[in-house]
Amino acid sequence: MKMTLYVLAIASSVCLPATAAEQATAVRQTDMKAKPFTDAETVTSLAERSRVDVLKRETSWIEVKSAPHTGWVKMLSLRFDAPTNAAAANASSNPFLMSIGKGGSGSVATTGVRGLKEEQLINPHPNPAALQQMQGNAVSAGDAAKFAASAGLQSQTVKYVAVGGAK
């Protein structure tokens, strides 16, 4: 049950619309594109740890502003700041956005979550009560560590795979 809630938490963070106050940090050096396509023109390159303002979300792309440039970066290249109370309230009152489809470059980006039916993806409806319930299930990092320790789990460090494959 708890795993299902964690999966729903991750999925809802992907599906919520961006708010004007949302900010993020680049987790690695990444190219900012003119359009949300891998083969689009590169506007600039964001350095690791660059701060950006989140403007819009479209499939797995996020439109960001990093003065003086505005462009698109892949969602997994960003770490989002914890929302402020106002941003969280705004997000829970807006409808969920789920945009899955074919980009102008011909590539297809999809994100799937178990348990969703095709109809739910085609015609999504917000459920603020479920979001509020899910947010009420959040635990602190300390509580999560205690729970893991009680089950005999230990923290592990996993190295990144080297460019060109594992060595």
The count of domains in the chain is: 1
Task: Give the model's pLDDT for residue 28.
Answer: 92
pLDDT tens string, the chain, 167 residues long: the values are 555 444 444 555 444 444 446 899 999 999 999 999 999 999 999 999 999 999 988 888 999 999 899 999 998 899 888 765 554 444 444 333 334 444 455 555 555 556 667 777 777 778 888 888 888 888 888 998 899 999 999 888 888 877 776 55
Q: Is residue 157 assigned to a domain? A: no
Global pTM value: 0.44
Q: Among 111, 120, 117, which residue's Cα sits nearest to residue 60?
A: 111
Q: Is residue 75 assigned to a domain? A: yes
Q: Is residue 62 assigned to a domain? A: yes
Q: Is residue 42 assigned to a domain? A: yes
Phi, psi of 150 (to 5 degrees): -65, -20
What are the Cα distances from residue 14, in Å, to 17, 98, 105, 136, 165?
8, 8, 22, 18, 29
The CATH number of the domain holding residue 122 is 2.30.30.40
The residue to which tokens 């993020």 are assigned = 24
Q: Is residue 140 assigned to a domain? A: yes
Q: Is residue 86 assigned to a domain? A: yes
The residue range of the domain holding 47 is 2-150
**Buried b / exposed e across 128-157, counting CB within 10 Å, b at 16+?**
eeebeeeeeeeeeeeeeeeeeeeeeeeeee
Q: Is residue 163 assigned to a domain? A: no
Q: Among 126, 91, 118, 120, which residue's Cα sits nearest to residue 21?
A: 91
Task: Give the model's pLDDT for residue 42.
Answer: 94
